[in-house]
Amino acid sequence: MEGQRLGGRYQLEARIGGGGMAIVYKARDLILNRQVAVKVLRPQFGTDEDFVNRFRREAQAVASLSHPNVVGVYDVGQDGDTHYMVMEYVEGSTLKEVINQRGALLVEEAVRIAVQICDALDHAHQNKIIHRDIKPHNILIGNNGRVKVTDFGIARAVTSTTITHTNSVLGSVHYFSPEQARGGITAEKSDIYSLGIVLYEMVTGQLPFSGESPISVALKHLQEPLPEPRQVKPDIPQSVENVILKALVKDPLLRYASAKEMLLDLETCLLPERLNEKKINFPVDDEQTRVVPIITREMLEANQSRQSLSRARFEQEEAEESPQRKWWVKPLVWLGAISLFLVLAFFGFNFLLNIFPSVPEVAVPYVEGTPVASAEKKIREANLVPKIIEEANDKYDPGMVIRQDPAPPMRLKENAIVTLYVSKGQQAIEMPNLVSLSRSMAEETLRQKGFTVTEESFIEKEHENAPPGQVIGQEPSAGEQVVPGKTVVKITVSKGKKYVEMPDVRGLSVDRARVELFKVGLAVADELIEQPSYTTDKAGIVLSTHPYDPKMQVPVGTAIPLTISNGQYPSDAKVGTAPIYVEMLPGETAEVKILVTDARGDNQLVFQETISESKEFDVPLVLSPERNATIQVRKHNQPIQTITIQYSSLP
């Protein structure tokens, strides 16, 4: 189904998992543009209306859960005969894969994972939802370390009809509670028992009960005492073993009362004061090993056949002994003969079945992550037939098994087919053309092709013509053959035009202003604007660079318009001088400064001298109708005199 679109919205990209009842695909939600996981029911279940209705009802109930350790359910739908569930996509591995790769986990890590699973179960139980299929295969470990519980509700949707169609239910028997194994009513404490098995497997690296068939494993859950974890690994703290023992006690009444109670115990079991606590003990049930045989359908049919045969013989003998035959004797004899024939046919059929026994079942070996030659050998040694399908993969080396279908703990008839998906390695593709795309579109294109994209993949650079955010270069080049998982991509993105800070060239000559502007990458406009100015009577002095004010960010290459003086004051300007007398004391020497504020500007220094006797200064002034003049005299840099000259006082 890879490449198919469901509901016009979910584009299936790659298969990432599967079980006896459903196949899980990595997909993209085309409307919300996000990665999702889509679980698709296998076709044989799509025709079971009761199963489909329960599946939808349970999926809708699980969608109501909102917890950081529960895989969220986004949508449930049907496309033709295909029923599917859309869930949160978690990048990472299953807990089963982690255990298979690493064996027993560190106790601290195992407890951390169990705490998160238990927290999720507590949330589900409070919402009246029982998982019923807790096992490492249904626990996802994200790349960020977050634990997510998945497959809520699927186990509850299995009917008695489904059990006869598939071995998927028995496939989880290693994690069944005793009440599940005997077919009793399952409740929250069944989930607690299954979590205890998962914790046992994490800290020891092995399952507590195993056998040649699912039935033998189920019987061990019912009858055999639990192999204590510290007998397998003595370094396990007693407090952690106590948690496992209490979760796995066969009597549900002796287990944790709730997932919340187990969670609180898990959160404190690694405290220093608890590590060497006293071992927990439970009362021994003398009747726990007593097995009550189950009356099967075959036993009932055989018993009914024997009763029919006995009745037929009795009626025949009674008829022979009767001196006067009744009208109904003959039909009764025929009926007895037919019954006898059917009984004999039934026993004959059973006799043939014993002569030609049914094909035995075998356990599917786990071969994921191993070389294909070794995997084929293991499959054949288990009396199964391997089927090889090669596909490109950027995580596994060529010749390595990516995944298998089915996988343990499934059991199959001998000579059944096990499909092995084998890596062809990373397949080279043509590098897409990204130039002229926006940054976001380029990034999305690369991710869809399987490239790894980070912030370091992008380089920003100024560009004269390309708008900000547009791709202006790429490495490797478009059309080049590359392997996405092994190729480092560098994308150059435009920052737009380069900007520089506008220098202050007011008061400079045109030639000097041209040089200063050229230094920062700016130019002078061809046409200069000349006008009279109060500030200077010299021609060619820059008065203004409007609209580009000093310190403004200006694009490189901009031609700056200059307004310059024409060497004249405005016609309403009044130009003159004002006599200022500075008196000095006998023997006094001081530095004298005279500052003028008038139409030319503020605090202009017109005189600065060191004198030792009184002196008169003729101070030049330029006044405008809107601006009077102020003269300030400073001695020893201290103001000693301030004079205001009115515009009207000058001729």
Catalytically active residues are 133
- By CB atoms closer than 10 A (0-12, 13-18, 19+), residue 454 is exposed
What is the distance of C-alpha 363 from the center of its chain? 34
What is the distance of C-alpha 423 from the center of its chain? 24
Q: Which residues pair with 412 in a beta bridge?
A: 362
DSSP E strand stretches across 97-210: 139-142, 147-149
- For residue 314, the one-letter residue type is F
Q: Are 474 and 508 in contact (CB under 8 A)?
A: no
Quote the tokens at residue 477: 């080049």
Q: Measure Cα distances from 185 to 133, 156, 178, 180, 190 in Å.
A: 14, 12, 10, 7, 9
Q: Are 10 and 28 in contact (CB under 8 A)?
A: yes
Q: Are 476 and 498 in contact (CB under 8 A)?
A: no
Q: Measure Cα distances from 299 to 139, 294, 338 in Å.
A: 41, 10, 22
Residues 133, 173: Cα–Cα separation, whole Å = 9
CA angle 48, 189, 58 (to 5 degrees): 30
* Tokens 């089963």, located at residue: 96
Q: What are phi and psi of 632, to 5 degrees?
A: -120, 130
Quote the tokens at residue 225: 């005492």
| Peptide bond just before 476 cis, omega within 30 deg | yes
What is the distance of C-alpha 370 from the center of its chain? 27
H helices within 212-296, ranges in order?
Answer: 214-223, 229-232, 238-247, 259-268
Q: What are phi and psi of 485, to 5 degrees?
A: -70, -15
C-alpha dihedral over 478, 480, 485, 488, to 10 degrees?
-70
* Tokens 């189950």, located at residue: 294
Q: Are 367 and 386 in contact (CB under 8 A)?
A: no
